[in-house]
C-alpha cells in the first residue's frame, strides 16, 4: 500500500473517531455560539476602530477567536496519541500494513481540517447573513485576512498540541502542559508584557522581541495591521512594530511566524513519534 493510501485510510479512521466523539459538532457549536453572541450585541450604530454594523461584529468575533482557537487546537490534539496508546489502538493499527508516519500525518490532517472547516463556514455565513439578510456592506477582504490568520494560528497550536501528546505520556501532565501553553499565549499579550516590563524593569527591546515570538500576539497584530497605526488600537507592542516594520510586514509576521511554529513543532513531534516506543 502506498504512503498516500495509508494516509487516506488513517484519516478516514480518525474522522470516524472524531465524529463519534462529537468533536466536529463541538467545534461548530462553539463557533456558532460565539458568533451569535456578537451578532446579538454588536449590531449597533456606534463605530469601533472604524468598523460599523457587520464589520464591527466580524472584528469582535475575530478578537474572541484569538483566545478560543489556541485552546480548541490544544485540547483536540494533546490527548490523541496518549489515548490511542492506552487503549491499544496503536498496537492494533501497526500490526496492519500501516506505517507510523502515515497514521501520524492522517490524524494531523483530519483534526486540523475539523478545526478549520467549521470556521470557514461560519465566517462566510456571517458575511452572507450581513449582506443578504441585513443589507449591510460586508468587508470580504477582511474576512479573507481573518481566515488566513486563524488558519495560521490553528496550525501553530495544533503543532504544539501534537508535540505535547507525543512527549507527555501521563494524562495529568498533558492537561497541565495544555493549560500552560494556552495561558502563556494569552497572558503574554500587551498587558502581560508591559506588566513584566514594569515589575522587573526588563529592557524594552527584549519585551518587544518576546511579544513577536508569541503566535497569538502576532495574529492579533496581523488582524489589525490594515488599520491606521494607533496606540489605542494596536496596543504598545503593535504600535511600536507597526512604526518600525510597517503594516505589510506586520501582516506577514502574523501569518508566517505562527505557520513556522506549527511546522516546526509538528516536525519535532513526527520525528519523535516515529522513533519512540508504542507503549
How do residues 10-20 score in pLDDT, each as one tens digit?
999 899 888 88
CB atoms within 10 A of CB 218: 29
Q: Scan for cell 469582535, then name that residue.
A: 60
Residue among 204, 215, 214 at smallest CA distance from 244: 204
The percent of residues above 90 in pLDDT, for the chain, comes to: 31
* Helix orientation angle between 23-42 and 100-128, rounded to the nearest 10 degrees: 30
The range of the structural domain enclosing residue 130 comes to 3-275
* Number of alpha carbons in the 13 Å side-chain half-sphere of residue 13: 18
The whole model's pTM is what?
Answer: 0.87
Q: Comparing 217 with 203, which gets the higher pLDDT?
A: 217
As separate numbers, helices (DSSP H) first and strands (DSSP E) second, the chain gives 13, 0
The position carrying cell 470516524 is 16
Place of cell 522581541: 209
Number of domains in the chain: 1
> What is the rounded distance in angstroms from the CA atom of residue 193 to the CA atom of residue 203?
11
Bigger pLDDT: 239 vs 58: 58
Separation CA 185–CA 179 (nearest Å) = 10
Element of type H or E holding 243: helix 231-245
53 band by pLDDT with thresholds 50, 70 and 90: low
**Average of per-residue pLDDT values in the chain:** 81
Least confident of 104-108, 210-214, 234-238: 234-238
- Residue 235's region, left for phi above 0, alpha for psi from -120 to 50, else beta, is left
Residues pairing with 48 in the sheet? 51
Amino acid at each position: 500500500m502506498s504512503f498516500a493510501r495509508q494516509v487516506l485510510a488513517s484519516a478516514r479512521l480518525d474522522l470516524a473517531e472524531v465524529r463519534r466523539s462529537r468533536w466536529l459538532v463541538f467545534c461548530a457549536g462553539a463557533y456558532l455560539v460565539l458568533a451569535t453572541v456578537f451578532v446579538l450585541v454588536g449590531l449597533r450604530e456606534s463605530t469601533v476602530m472604524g468598523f460599523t454594523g457587520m464589520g464591527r461584529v466580524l472584528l469582535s468575533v475575530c478578537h474572541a477567536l484569538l483566545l478560543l482557537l489556541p485552546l480548541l487546537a490544544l485540547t483536540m490534539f494533546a490527548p490523541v496519541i496518549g489515548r490511542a496508546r492506552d487503549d491499544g489502538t496503536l498496537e492494533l493499527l501497526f500490526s496492519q500494513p500501516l506505517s507510523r508516519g502515515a497514521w501520524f500525518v492522517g490524524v494531523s490532517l483530519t483534526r486540523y481540517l475539523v478545526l478549520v472547516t467549521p470556521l470557514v463556514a461560519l465566517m462566510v455565513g456571517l458575511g452572507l447573513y450581513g449582506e443578504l439578510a441585513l443589507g449591510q456592506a460586508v468587508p470580504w477582504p477582511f474576512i479573507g485576512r481573518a481566515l488566513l490568520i486563524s488558519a495560521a494560528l490553528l496550525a501553530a497550536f495544533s503543532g504544539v498540541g501534537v508535540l505535547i501528546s507525543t512527549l507527555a505520556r501521563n494524562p495529568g501532565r498533558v492537561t497541565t502542559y495544555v493549560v500552560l501553553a494556552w495561558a502563556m499565549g494569552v497572558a503574554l499579550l500587551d498587558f502581560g508584557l508591559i506588566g513584566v516590563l514594569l515589575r522587573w524593569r526588563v529592557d524594552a527591546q527584549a519585551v518587544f522581541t518576546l511579544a513577536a515570538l508569541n503566535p497569538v500576539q502576532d495574529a492579533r497584530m496581523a488582524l489589525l495591521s490594515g488599520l491606521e497605526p494607533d496606540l489605542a488600537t494596536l496596543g504598545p507592542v503593535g504600535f511600536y512594530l507597526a512604526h518600525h516594520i510597517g503594516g505589510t510586514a506586520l501582516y506577514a509576521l502574523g501569518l508566517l511566524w505562527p505557520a513556522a511554529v506549527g511546522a516546526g513543532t509538528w516536525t519535532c513531534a513526527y520525528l519523535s513519534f516515529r522513533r519512540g516506543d508504542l507503549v
